[in-house]
Chain A
Amino acid sequence: MADAAALAQLLSATAAGDQAAFRRLYEASSAHLFGLLLRILQRRDWAEEALQDCYLKIWQKADTYSPDKGAPLTWLMTVARYRALDLLRMRRPEVELPEEGEDHASAFADDSSGADPEARAVEGEGIGRLQHCLEGLPDEQRRSVLLAYYEGYTHQELARRMEAPLGTIKSWVRRGLQRLRECLGE
């Protein structure tokens, strides 16, 4: 992972319109963003499109980054995650209209894409405190939060995946988040 100070410098040069710096920023960070986009969007073409959108936005908005928004890579990945969610909601609309031919549900009903999100979360380094707090959550709350985070699932999609009523899912997510907040000491 590129070091934060170097990325911050590249970001500020990018904000000043330095295309060479922007290229280096892309080289140092794009694999992280692309991995995130691919994971959430599950399709290479969508992830590539989203990656392009992200970096155009970064090119334009690099000046809005400031250190209080977290480490540069964190900020970049946050930008990417929001973009992924937007695109996902646009392209994979809620299946609220039964007459709408395609069965979107089947696309993620059986997730054969490998590791469980919990396992993935645990693999990551530097999770530290958050991981400790996640481990303290009841199973279903932790799973709801992590599935929403890593798969971009909506309440409805969580309900299908976890085979629980919508109301139950909503309260798992809410309680999970509440307890995380308390555990993280705020």
Chain B
Amino acid sequence: MKYVNARLGQMLAAEYVLGTLTGRARRRFVRLLQSRADLRAEVSDWERRLAALHAGFKPVAPREIVWAAIQREIESGARVVPLRPTGGAPDGRLRFWQAWSALATAASVVLAFGLYREVHAPAPPVQIVRVEVPVPQPMPYVALLQPGGSKAQWLVTLSPERRRIRVSGMGDYPMDAARESLELWVIGADGKPVSLGLLPAKGEADMPMPRGMSMPAQPALAVSREPPGGSPTGQPTGPVIVVGPAQRAS
């Protein structure tokens, strides 16, 4: 995936800014930006060109509770969006475990994601819960993956019924994101890994389950280090940094 062609680079930058560059291509482009000053310059040129369109958005005053929530987060010392505490902040970890134990007992993974926020900013704008709770669905599979030798951990929930995978990452896994990607696999009944997609460099991500994939009876998940953009062969090519079972939450 080399953007040797300058014209192609320009077009990708334009579509990145416009927003029509999506999914994997967008993620790959964002990674590329870290190492390519020429593309960064293209992006800021396009941001400048299109900035005049901002005037087409009509200002709307937000409700006061939003400021209250922002202020609370700032005063609590949290500097980043939930699940991404800088420098291994211990309270971030605590929140993670609070959410995790809630997840184990509350019998609703979806609810737990709402809880991250609720625990984090305990008050008004917690509408996620109301929005996303599906009523009569089997519980998703859950796995907590913690590679040795790093503070990184990923909470993965797979919902075969909804064909969705959600990953919440915490802590940085030490690697150069411009040169490597982390790929998530499910180990099938036959022992063969099937790719579920790339782990987000930070924070949370939602991914669709690969088409036609069915969950093995006793699934295990694994993460491997791969070239940027993922394994070129469809099978893990780099070292596997963690393997763990996925279980139905109950």
Please, how many angstroms separate the alpha-carbon atoms of A23 and B69 in the complex? 12
A145 to B23 Cα, complex, angstroms:
19
**B53-A121 in contact (CB<8A):** yes
A70 within 8 A of B: yes
A122-155 residues with Cβ-Cβ distance < 8 A to B are: 122-131, 145-146, 148-150, 152-155
What band does the interface of chain A fall in when counting residues whose beta carbon is under 8 Å from B?
35 or more
Interface flag for B50 (CB, 8 Å): yes
Question: In the bound complex, how far is the Cα of B67 from the Cα of A25, in angstroms?
Answer: 12
Q: Are A150 and B74 in contact (CB under 8 A)?
A: no
Closest to A101 in B: B162
Interface contact A96-B20, CB-CB below 8 Å: no
For residue A151, which residue of chain B has the nearest CB? B19
Q: Which of B22-49 contact A (CB under 8 A)?
A: 22-23, 44-45, 47-49
B11 within 8 A of A: yes
B61 touches A131 (CB 8 A): no
- Contact assessment for B60 and A121 in the assembled complex, using a CB-CB cutoff below 8 Å: no
Q: Assuming the A-B contacts A45-B127, A59-B79, A100-B163, are A34 and B52 also in contact, with contact meaning beta carbons closer than 8 angstroms in the complex?
A: no
Which of chain A's residues has its CB closest to B134's CB?
A: A101
CB distance from B162 to the nearest CB of A (A): 7
Which of A36, A49, A154 makes the CB contact (< 8 A) with B128? Answer: A49
**Contact partner, B53, options A48, A59, A94, A130, Cβ 8 Å:** A130
Determine if B89 is an interface residue (Cβ-Cβ < 8 Å). Answer: no
Which of B18, B51, B71, B78 interacts with A70 by CB under 8 Å? B51
Determine if B81 and A149 form an interchain contact, defined as CB atoms under 8 angstroms apart.
Answer: no
User: Would you call B59 and A34 a contact (CB within 8 A)?
Assistant: yes
Whether A99 contacts B163 by the Cβ 8 Å rule is: yes
Distance in Å: Cβ of B51 to nearest Cβ of chain A? 5
Q: Which of B162-187 contact A (CB under 8 A)?
A: 162-164
A120: nearest residue on chain B (CB-CB)?
B56
Say yes or no for A78: interface residue by CB 8 A criterion: yes
Chain B contact residues, CB within 8 Å of chain A = 10-11, 14-15, 18-20, 22-23, 44-45, 47-63, 65-67, 69-71, 73-74, 78-81, 121, 125, 127-128, 131, 162-164, 204-206, 208, 211
The 7 closest A-B pairs by CB, nearest first: A124-B55, A45-B127, A31-B59, A34-B62, A130-B52, A124-B56, A35-B60
